[in-house]
Amino acid sequence: MRRSNKVRVDMVTLWCVLSLLTFLSVEASGTNPGAKLRVTQKGLDYELEISINPLREKLKTIQIPNMSGKEEVLFMDVSYRVSSMQIEEVLMDSTAVGLVPGTGVSLSIGKAYIDLKGNWEVEYLFIDDGGWFTLSIFDIRISTTIGVNNDGQGHPTVYAASCSASIGRVEIDLHGGLSWLYQLFDSYINSALLDALQPQICTMVTEAINSINPHLKTLNVLAQVDKYAEIDYSIVGSPFVSYSGIDLGLKGEFYNIGQHQEPPFSPTPFSLPAQDSNMLYIALSAFSLNSAGFVYNNAGVLKLYITDDMIPSSCPFRLDTKTFGIFIPQIAKQYPGLKMEFLLKAAKEPNISFEPNLMTLEASSTVSAYAIQPNATLSPLFILNMNASVSALIYVSGLKVLGKVTLKKIDLTLNTSNVGPIQVKLLDNVAWTILNVAVIPRVNALLKNGYPLPAIGEMNLRNTQLQILKDYVLIGTDVQFGGVDLPDVL
Q: Would you tell me which residues interact with ligand NAG (CB under 6 A)?
A: 66, 83-84, 347, 351, 353, 364, 366, 373, 375, 377, 385, 387, 411, 413, 415
Q: How many CB atoms lie within 10 A of CB 162?
A: 12
Write down the least CB distance from residue 384 to ligand NAG, Å. 8
d(CA 82, CA 194): 13
Q: Specify the residue, 104 or 293, whose C-beta has the smaller distance to ligand NAG.
A: 293
Write down the least CB distance from residue 246 to ligand NAG, Å. 31
Q: Specify the residue, 198 or 366, whose C-beta has the smaller distance to ligand NAG.
A: 366
Q: Specify the residue, 150 or 391, whose C-beta has the smaller distance to ligand NAG.
A: 391
Q: Specify the residue, 82 or 160, whose C-beta has the smaller distance to ligand NAG.
A: 82
Q: Specify the residue, 397 or 416, whose C-beta has the smaller distance to ligand NAG.
A: 416
Write down the least CB distance from residue 278 to ligand NAG, Å. 28
Going by their DSSP bridges, the two strands 229-232 and 169-175 should be labelled as: unpaired
Write down the least CB distance from residue 18 to ligand NAG, Å. 39
d(CA 238, CA 218): 18
Write down the least CB distance from residue 441 to ligand NAG, Å. 24
What is the crossing angle of helices 41-60 and 190-210, to 10°? 130
Q: Specify the residue, 92 or 431, whose C-beta has the smaller distance to ligand NAG.
A: 431
Write down the least CB distance from residue 266 to ligand NAG, Å. 11
Q: Under 8 Å CB-to-CB from 283, ≥6 apart: which residues?
A: 35, 36, 37, 38, 270, 272, 472, 473, 474, 475
Q: Specify the residue, 57 or 362, whose C-beta has the smaller distance to ligand NAG.
A: 362
Write down the least CB distance from residue 487 to ligand NAG, Å. 28
Q: Specify the residue, 86 or 166, whose C-beta has the smaller distance to ligand NAG.
A: 86
Write down the least CB distance from residue 364 to ligand NAG, Å. 5
d(CA 166, CA 143): 9
